């Protein structure tokens, strides 16, 4: 009896695990270099010679995001053969990588449309890098939930995954616009995006918390929407309706919990005027905690 058999792992399962792990490592390595290729710089120079912390944070978000996506690709039953497992893992992994890059592109061009994210990160803007990294992680959390929701490996499956992805990006844009409106209302019509460009780390941390919370709440939709790969319109409408409901519920609950946990503290003044990173981090933790609890209640 081998050590694998002692723990109930067959030889076939052990080989499949090795295949999945090998592909995952290759894709994670690819993501690191893609960061440099996309920005048209040498990632090694940015990370190790220029010591560009912002580039490092952005790269960390991309790698962490891909790792999250790969857990969705690995989840589920093993394929019927080694070749099928390798093809499935590679297909889902590459599709997830492409969606992460597409999500970041859409976030840059639509959500954060008032500045050039790439230029800011190469200049070492930590605030922009934090938002960029968390946007990648938020997108990855959403993609993971959709990968677990979907089944099989067909064209219809990828269409269903892309439909949910498209709705999630719309929700991230709506969330950003809402947070911008709230920021402008409290700061004499000042721009939240300008604040990020100026290096307002506290605002970046707080906004990141909202993005991560929205992504986590998006997970709950997969437990209520019945998977039907050919019901294109129904899938879109279902994800949209449930996402809006969850976003509204999440916003209300986060506001209530922050009022209680951070009572007698002027959050707008502390975070937006005094750049209080500590308070902003507590806000991020509250947002994520509320989203995790809300999502757990939906299971």
What's the chain's average pLDDT? Answer: 85
Q: Check residue 161 and give its pLDDT.
A: 78
Q: At 131, which helix (H) or strand (E)?
A: helix 126-149
Query: DSSP code of 10?
Result: -
Alpha-carbon gap, residue 177 to 191, rounded angstroms: 11
Distance of CA 274 to the CA centre of its chain: 28
- Residue reference for tokens 């190790």: 48
Express each pLDDT in 106-118 by its tens digit.
888 899 998 999 8
Taking residues 30-49, report their average pLDDT. 86
Express each pLDDT in 54-70 by its tens digit.
999 999 999 999 899 88
Express each pLDDT in 174-227 by its tens digit.
999 999 999 999 998 999 999 999 999 999 999 999 999 999 988 777 777 777
Q: Check residue 265 and give its pLDDT.
A: 92
Please report, for the chain, how many H helices and E strands are present, in that order: 13, 0
3-state secondary structure of 76: coil
Q: At 104, which helix (H) or strand (E)?
A: helix 82-106
Closest of 299, 207, 288 to residue 250, by C-alpha: 288
pLDDT of residue 7 exceeding 60, the answer is no
pLDDT of residue 3 exceeding 80, the answer is no
Query: DSSP code of 198?
Result: T
CB atoms within 10 A of CB 296: 11
Report the predicted TM-score, pTM, of the whole model to 2 decimal places.
0.88
* 30-66 as b/e: b if 16+ CB within 10 A: ebbebbbeebebebeebbeeeebebbbbbbbbbbbbb
Q: At 103, which helix (H) or strand (E)?
A: helix 82-106
Alpha-carbon gap, residue 284 to 181, rounded angstroms: 19
Instruction: Provide φ and ψ at 261, rounded to 5°.
Output: -70, -40
Q: Check residue 41 and give its pLDDT.
A: 86
Taking residues 9-24, report their average pLDDT. 79
Express each pLDDT in 154-174 by its tens digit.
777 778 778 878 888 888 899
pLDDT of residue 299 exceeding 70, the answer is no
- Structure token pair of residue 247: 């976003």
Closest of 175, 193, 96, 179 to residue 137, by C-alpha: 96
- How many residues are recorded in the chain? 299
CA angle 13, 18, 23 (to 5 degrees): 125
Burial of 188 (0-12, 13-18, 19+ CB in 10 A): exposed
């Amino acid at each position: 009896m081998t050590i694998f058999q002692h723990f109930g792992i067959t030889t076939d399962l052990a080989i499949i695990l090795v295949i999945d792990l090998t592909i995952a490592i290759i894709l994670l390595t690819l993501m690191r270099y893609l960061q440099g290729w996309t920005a048209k710089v040498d990632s090694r120079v940015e990370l190790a010679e220029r010591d560009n912390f912002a580039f490092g944070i952005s790269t960390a978000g991309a790698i962490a995001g891909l790792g999250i996506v790969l857990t969705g690709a690995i989840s589920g039953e093993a394929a019927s053969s080694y070749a099928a497992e390798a093809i499935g893992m590679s297909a889902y992994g590459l599709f997830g990588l492409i969606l992460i890059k597409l999500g970041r592109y859409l976030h840059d061009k639509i959500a954060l449309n008032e500045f050039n994210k790439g230029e800011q990160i190469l200049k070492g803007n930590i605030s922009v890098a934090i938002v960029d990294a968390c946007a990648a992680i938020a997108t990855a959390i959403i993609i993971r939930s959709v990968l677990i929701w979907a089944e099989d490996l067909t064209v219809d499956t990828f269409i269903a995954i892309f439909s949910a992805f498209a709705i999630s990006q719309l929700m991230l844009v709506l969330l950003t616009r809402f947070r911008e409106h709230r920021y402008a209302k409290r700061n004499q019509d000042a721009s939240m995006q300008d604040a990020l460009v100026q290096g307002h780390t506290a605002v970046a941390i707080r906004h990141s918390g909202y993005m991560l919370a929205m992504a986590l709440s998006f997970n709950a939709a997969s437990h209520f929407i019945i998977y039907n790969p050919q019901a294109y319109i129904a899938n879109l409408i279902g994800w949209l309706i449930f996402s809006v409901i969850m976003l509204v519920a999440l916003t209300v609950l986060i506001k209530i919990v922050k009022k209680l946990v951070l009572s007698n503290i002027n959050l707008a003044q502390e975070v937006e005027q005094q750049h209080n990173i500590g308070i902003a981090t507590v806000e991020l933790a509250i947002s994520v905690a509320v989203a995790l609890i809300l999502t757990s209640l939906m299971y």
